[in-house]
Structure 1
Amino acid sequence: MKAIKPLLTAGALALTAGLASAQTDITVAIQLEPPNLDPTGGAAQAIDSVLYSNVFEGLTRFEGDGSVVPGLAESWEISDDGTVYTFKLHDGVNFHDGTTMDAEDVKFSLDRARADDSTNAQKGLFAGITDVTVIDPLTVQVTLDGPNGMFLFNMAWGDAVIVAPESIEDIASNPVGTGAFTFADWVQGDRLELARNENYWGDAPALENATFRFISDPTAAFAAVMAEDVDVFVGFPAPENLPQFEADPRFQVLVGNTEGETILSTNNKMPPFDNKLVRQAVAHAIDRQAIIDGAMFGLGTPIGTHFAPHNPDYVDLLANSPYDPAKAKELLAEAGFADGFTTTLKLPPPSYARRGGEIIASQLREVGIQAEISNLEWAQWIEEVFKGKDFGLSIVSHTEPMDIGIYANPDYYFQYDNPDFQALMEELNATTDPAGRSDLLAKAQTIISEDYVNGYLFELAVATVAKAGVQGLWVNQPTAAVDLTVVSWAE
């Protein structure tokens, strides 16, 4: 018997045509290419930009508004003394290679991150963990050495995503996670491709394919967007062009906040920066607003400490380091450098660093400090500055969320070693009362501001230029991520 083909109504035909034409791929440009693809072992923010939430997931995760919500952990219970967290994991979660994600993988990930030989860039997130115990395949218990009011927040960082022992050996080049997208291809120097995870445990993303392109040059970035070669540019590096895009109906411009404290990083163990008077002189030699206007075309909020101004616990400490070249010269003379000195200024690729570096070098010359600029690629910066600590000054935006705790690590690249600050951070970790935490955070901000650990410049704004039909993009960046899990095209 011949099959009878059903007739389609005009409405059904229109619906079918609409579905057939709906765009399901996207090309996103960002400025920096990740040096590797292991968020648990690499320090570069570009790793999270591509992979956070898209490929890798943690027990908890950040939403676009900065809130912390359940991730791979469906729920959790906290003991009365605040030291034991019992996580209940989602059932039916698989890694992209088909292996099951369970409590053993959580234990492996947390134990690996806190191990003595760990290369995790934020190893301090896991310092308070004393034990990770598998209760059953979907239940894992984490014991801390004391209450930590930031623990669930810390578990949302990209450095705390869950990985598997079966795929860890090749993670730097072939990332295997549990996220809504799988890693497809990486053409180094050009692009990285993701594909929809058809077996995703959560809500399926609207996009089938996503391509990240890496365009560091501001002129090339402008050309790529104008030619519509890319659909989205997150962290658009030429803010002077934003008015042109705003006036063009083809595009939308989103300007939001980041967690990026942009600082003049200072090597506190390298002479002469081991002298507080010299660091203070540098702080007074800097005209923040000139840097914001000249390098960022007005996008950015001046800061006087390492803390985000949009955080309710932020303390305005700009008065500790106003622009005062005469004061800077006096301090240099008092420190024994009346004739100035020469140092290095090593700059990573972002335009805020390259453009800002030129301005800062000029400002430092006015007080007698000769800063010799070296423009480094991101991998070079990681090796020389972050790992090798071979620098005098640098410029970088620390985009990790509420990361003032890095100042408690004397081995961190700017090498600030203050036992009083370290004790304060331990007290903060053990404090759960909101008012008490606010007081301690205020003290912490004040200490590093008055010690002039680094030159505090501005809170980095993030500008995104996208085609008019793209929806679901993050406006703000509570962590350095381009989360595509809820991005779609308007029909």
Structure 2
Amino acid sequence: MTRHFSTVLATALFGALLCATGTIAAPRTDAVIGMSIEPTGLDPTAAAPVAIGQVVWKNLFEGLVTIDENGKIAPALASDWAVSDDGLTYTFNLREGVSFQNGEPFNATTAKFTLERIIADDSVNPQKALYSAIESVAAPDEKTLVLTLSHPSYDLLYWLGFPAAVMVEPNSIADEATHPVGTGPFQFEAWKKGNEVTLSAFDGYWGDKPKLDKLTFRFIADPQAQAAALASGGVDAMPEFGAPELVNQFEDKAGFDVVIGSTGMEVVAGMNSTRETFSDKRVRQALMMAIDRQAIVDATNSGYGTPIGSHFSPSDAGYEDLTGVLPYDPAKAKALLAEAGYPNGFSFTMKVPNRAYAERAAEIMQAYFIQIGVTATIESSEFPATWIKDVFKDTNYDMTIIGHAEPLDIGIYARHPYYFNYDNPDFDAAMTAIADATSPDERLEGYRKAQEILAEDVPALFLYAWPKIGIWNAGLKGLWTNEPVPSNDMTEAYWSN
């Protein structure tokens, strides 16, 4: 009896040891990813919110090319490409044997359909302006796609890697927002509105199979709830943790990795230039000099983030630190207001999305403005639906605060119309020069000039570049440290234990 008991005990202990060392217990094949914002739909080619791409880009949808973690262009559904010497013809060689998740083949015909849909007169693509140089799309055979441009567009190849340019299957268009169909390694399973979206591994994927079988994107708006979900295991990762002041709780906590990276997101306080007050550059400059950007970063983001002087992130090539163009100087700010005809200040409304970073910044800016005699009334706006309608679409606002997460998006100030209602021919010319560049040096010089124009003209108050604060289970590997494109790329993710 004793011998039998000892044998059973030894076997149990040995089994437990094997499990503990991972010999028997297989690594998990699912992951739960937390996000602050639930997308309004799941078709990144038809709506603007970046939360859409953070669920489906690279996971479910793919483009002709892609952008890697280092911001470099890499092959995707196109294995290679060539650009003519005059920059007007792009020829893509497409991969063979690729199918959409509904079984339909991907080929040059479907690629042609996708791009023509983006540039069509009735297109609702949120980034349509980026692809306006495409004059025609041809599919001479099923493996070849040819783009003819009306004028050079140096950054077009980069933009073709964005979520807005992913390939779509023509028969799925009607239901794409609620039941997306792509060519990626994960396919759509379910969407529990208000809670989560679930993706599962796509058996028919053309490339390397993902190591995870199931992805769940869980939506948790409240930063305190995000921290609680991480601590309890309700989510395995918060790639963009929304509570910088709580980061230290996880820095020394066993079982968690805290990873601080960079993003291309610029937090700005946009002004409606059609409002009489904000149509005067001196007023805009005064408001810029009325606030201390570093103090805003410290107070709203626990010091995480980099003050900026233009709509450009330090992670972008060609970045210039222009915070010294209009530095914090309340006395000069008051003098400028008086010169502009507002010696006693003025009043306006800040329509602020109900996101923690924006609300915190608005309250601090409100206090700074009071010091120069300007009264700002804060009006909360539900994000994304109400804010997008009132501010982004109808431009019914005076000032707002928002993080522009689209990568390399300084060109938005040359879009007409756009919610700033900003019009500066010199800036437009700078963006044209970038498009017409024939060398990397010309391109970077163009971006430097564009930054300098905005820093002096301030169509928005440039606050800071957003950091990527990632917190996740230490056993979960393969997540991005940096975020050149807003995303939660899980295609290389796996569990190490």
TM-score of the aligned structures, taking structure 1 as reference length: 0.95
Pairing 1:346–2:351 present: yes
Instruction: Name the residue aligned to 1:141.
Output: 146
Residue equivalent to 2:397: 391
Deviation, structure 1 residue 377 = 2.3
Is this contact kept in 1: 2:264–2:316, CA < 8 A? no
Distance 1:410 1:19, change over 3 A: farther
Alignment partner, residue 301 of structure 2: 296
Give the secondary structure class of the aligned counterpart of 1:104.
helix
Specify the alignment match of 2:332 in structure 1. Answer: 327
| The 10-residue stretch of structure 1 (56-65 or 291-300) with the greater mean CA deviation from structure 2 | 56-65
Match of 1:126 in 2: 131
**What's the RMSD between the two structures over aligned residues?**
1.8
Aligned mates of 2:431, 2:443 — CA distance in 1: 10
Structure 1's 304 and 208: CA in aligned 2 closer, same or farther, altered over 3 A?
same
Instruction: Provide the rounded CA distance (Å) in 1 between the counterparts of 2:342 and 2:123.
Output: 41
Choose the corresponding residue for 2:83, options 56, 78, 84: 78
Aligned to 1:4: none
Q: 2:489 aligns with which of 466, 483, 490?
A: 483
The aligned counterpart of 1:194 is: 199
- Which residue of 137, 149, 157 corresponds with 1:152? 157
| C-alpha separation in 2, matches of 1:200 and 1:18 | 29
Q: Residue 310 of structure 2 aligns to which amino acid in structure 1? A: T
Tell me the alpha carbon deviations over residues 61-84 of structure 1, each in whole angstroms, 9 at most, x when there is no partner.
Answer: 111111110111111122222211
Give 1:18 deviation, angstroms: 4.2
1:274 and 1:119 mapped to 2: Cα distance? 29
Q: Following TM superposition, by how much is the alpha carbon of 1:340 offset from its aligned partner in structure 2, in angstroms? A: 2.1
- Matches of 1:242 and 1:314, distance apart in 2: 28
Contact between 2:212 and 2:493, CA under 8 Å: does it hold in 1? yes
Instruction: Report the equivalent of 1:184.
Output: 189
- CA–CA separation in structure 1 for the residues paired with 2:99 and 2:41: 23
State how far apart, in whole Å, the 2-side matches of 1:148 and 1:115 are. 18
Give the equivalent residue in structure 2 for 1:67. 72
2:156 & 2:480 partners in 1: Cα distance? 24
Q: CA deviation at 1:257?
A: 0.2
Instruction: Check whether the contact 1:216–1:349 (CA below 8 A) recurs between aligned residues.
Output: no
Corresponding position: 1:32 with 2:21? no
- Among candidates 225, 228, 238, match of residue 223 of structure 1: 228
Q: Distance in 2 between matches of 1:96 and 1:14?
A: 39
| Range with bigger deviation, 354-363 or 190-199 | 354-363
Determine which of 385, 388, 391 is the counterpart of 1:382: 388
Question: What does residue 442 of structure 1 align with?
Answer: 448
Aligned positions of 1:212-291 closer than 5 A: 212-291=217-296
1:20 positional shift? 5.5
Query: Is the deviation greater in 65-74 or in 330-339?
Result: 330-339
Q: Are 1:109 and 2:103 counterparts?
A: no
Give the conservation status (yes or no) of the 8 Å contact 1:233–1:465.
yes
What residue identity is the alignment partner of 1:240? E
Name the CA distance, whole Å, in 2 between partners of 1:372 and 1:473.
40
Query: Quick one: distance in 1 between partners of 2:254 and 2:148?
Result: 54
Tell me whether 325-334 or 36-45 shows the greater mean CA deviation: 325-334
Matched, 1:423 2:435: no
| Aligned residue number for residue 53 of structure 1 | 58
CA-CA distance at 1:370 after TM superposition:
2.0
Larger deviation: 340-349 or 201-210? 340-349
1:387-441 Cα offsets, whole Å, 9 max, x none, are 1111111111111111111111121111111122212211211112122122211
Mapped pair 1:469 → 2:469: no
Look up the SS of the partner of 2:279 in the other structure: coil
Letter in 2 for 1:459: A
Structure 1 residues 95 and 410: CA distance shift in structure 2, 3 A? same
What is the rounded CA distance, in whole Å, between the counterparts of 1:270 and 1:168 in structure 2?
Answer: 39
Matches of 2:22 and 2:238, distance apart in 1? 29
Superposition deviation, residue 368 in structure 1: 2.2
Letter in 2 for 1:337: Y
1:7 corresponds in structure 2 to none
Who is 2:342 aligned against? 337
Alignment check: 8 A CA contact 1:259 1:479 kept: yes
Q: Is the 8 A contact 1:61 1:155 kept in 2?
A: yes
- The residue type paired with residue 91 of structure 2 is T
Question: 2:11 — aligned with what?
Answer: none
Structure 2 letter corresponding to 1:292:
V
CA distance in 2, matches of 1:310, 1:77: 27
Secondary structure class of the residue paired with 1:166: helix
Given that residues 200 and 215 in structure 2 are in contact (C-alpha distance below 8 angstroms), is that contact kept between their aligned partners in structure 1?
Answer: yes
Deviations 1:180-239 (A, max 9, x none): 111111111111111111111111111111111111111111111111211001211111
Amino acid across the alignment from 2:467: A
SS of the aligned residue for 1:431 comes to coil
Distance 1:201 1:344 in 2: 52
Residues 37 and 51 of structure 2 are in contact (CA less than 8 Å); yes or no, is this contact kept in structure 1?
yes
Q: Which of 356, 360, 363 is the matching residue for 2:361? A: 356
In structure 2, what residue type is equivalent to 1:227? S
- What displacement does 1:87 show? 0.6
Name which of 203, 210, 213 aligns with 1:205: 210
Q: Is the 8 A contact 1:32 1:350 kept in 2?
A: no
72 and 263 in structure 1: CA distance in 2 versus 1, 3 angstrom threshold: same
- SS at 1:319's partner residue? coil
Measure the CA separation in 1 of the matches of 2:182 and 2:24. Answer: 30
Aligned CA distance change for structure 1 residues 17 and 249 (closer, same or farther; 3 Å): closer
Alignment CA distance shift 1:430-1:277 (3 Å)? same
Bigger shift: 162-171 or 250-259? 162-171
Which among 392, 410, 413 is matched to residue 407 of structure 1?
A: 413
Counterparts of 1:361 and 1:173, CA distance in 2: 40
SS in 1 for 2:228: helix
Identity %: 43
Q: Is the 8 A contact 2:61 2:183 kept in 1?
A: yes
SS of the residue 1:257 aligns to: strand
> 1:316 aligns to what?
321
Tell me how far 1:95 sits from its aligned partner: 1.1
Match of 1:452 among 446, 449, 458: 458
- Separation of aligned partners in 2, 1:247 and 1:482: 25
